[in-house]
A = this chain, B = another copy of it.
């Protein structure tokens, strides 16, 4: 009898998991609740509540206005860049000085799509996928309308494979300003071949803007090496920053000289406290900062980066692959009428797994009633977000077993 992964029981996988002990560092790990939506909102670390309490009483309340400091003095003023550098090093494979933390993914997308168009003046097209997350599509439509650009949509032939470099090559040309694509697709978890897409885009002189929301913190991105020009990403999914934590924006150093974005707030000025007439952009990515940085909501992200530094993103990825493989196998075994809506090859798959069945909307509603929390995504997708450091194999098995029971019980 073979020891194929779907026959190894969950408890044995948990017992052999070198990262298993970290699960207890998260709030709620001891509860019977099964949480399979860490890719929508990561659990808080147990240290985070106390960190915020002490931030309020000691840093905000104690330092008061002195907490800000001036640019380069190591205070809150520098947090958008210092936290950006930490994410760059720990998760993104990006050299320092290219990542800023602030605003939302939506606002950062807006800024960087404008920046891309400004870096490629005269070009008239934005390439994107019809499968992209709504905000990406909506913001691209808005920026295109404002700048008189034309949107060129890729309709992925097979959602589970995501956008391919061939599909991009088929539509880019000398009119393409920028190709916008998700690194990990929000429904299928398909990993886009960033380096190959960057190559075909660069061949025609176009830029690539990657949305890393579903990849940052769960797999090594190697952003500098891919040749991607611009990127945005989210910190409340696999970086456990809490509901609405500020997002990240990346601009490759080679584009800093020509970088321009329209939300020209005082905090992106070269000398914010001079308060002088006329906007003069700060050097590098600091010009992406617009209003006053959201210091309070950056605190929890630092806790998760501490843990990721301890564990290492490669080990996180190894556990993630094991979890998604186990989920796909358990789905085949326990939900034989469902279809895998994610790449079967774990190398092509991010940190979540989607199982498709026409009645999954009802299944998810039933699961929520049983304190089993996955997500639902049209059409018919049970989306299992498997946050590697806070999810056990037993939790995955319990969740998929419960889904099978709910499905069997539907009239």
Q: Are the C-beta atoms of A49 and B44 separated by less than 8 Å?
A: no
Contact A269:B138 (CB < 8 A) given known A27-B61, A295-B242, A296-B243: yes
B residues less than 8 Å from A293 (CB atoms): 243-244
A350 interfacial by beta-carbon distance below 8 Å:
no
Q: Give the interface residue-count category, chain A.
A: 35 or more
Q: Are the C-beta atoms of A275 and B378 separated by less than 8 Å?
A: yes
Residues 100 to 142 of chain A near chain B (Cβ within 8 Å): 103-107, 110, 130, 133-135, 137-139, 141-142
For A278, the closest partner residue in chain B by CB is B141
Q: Are the C-beta atoms of A104 and B61 separated by less than 8 Å?
A: no
A53 interfacial by beta-carbon distance below 8 Å:
yes
One of A35-43, A222-230, A315-323 at the interface: A35-43
- A46 to B102 Cα, complex, angstroms: 27
A245 interfacial by beta-carbon distance below 8 Å:
yes
For A41, the closest partner residue in chain B by CB is B65
Contact A275:B37 (CB < 8 A) given known A60-B243, A141-B264: no
A166 interfacial by beta-carbon distance below 8 Å:
no
B residues less than 8 Å from A76 (CB atoms): 243-244
Q: Are the C-beta atoms of B244 and A62 separated by less than 8 Å?
A: no
A347 interfacial by beta-carbon distance below 8 Å:
no
Q: Are the C-beta atoms of B41 and A49 separated by less than 8 Å?
A: no
Partner pick for A297 among B67, B137, B265, B296, CB 8 A cutoff: B296
- A293 to B279 Cα, complex, angstroms: 28
B residues less than 8 Å from A203 (CB atoms): none
Q: Are the C-beta atoms of A65 and B375 separated by less than 8 Å?
A: yes
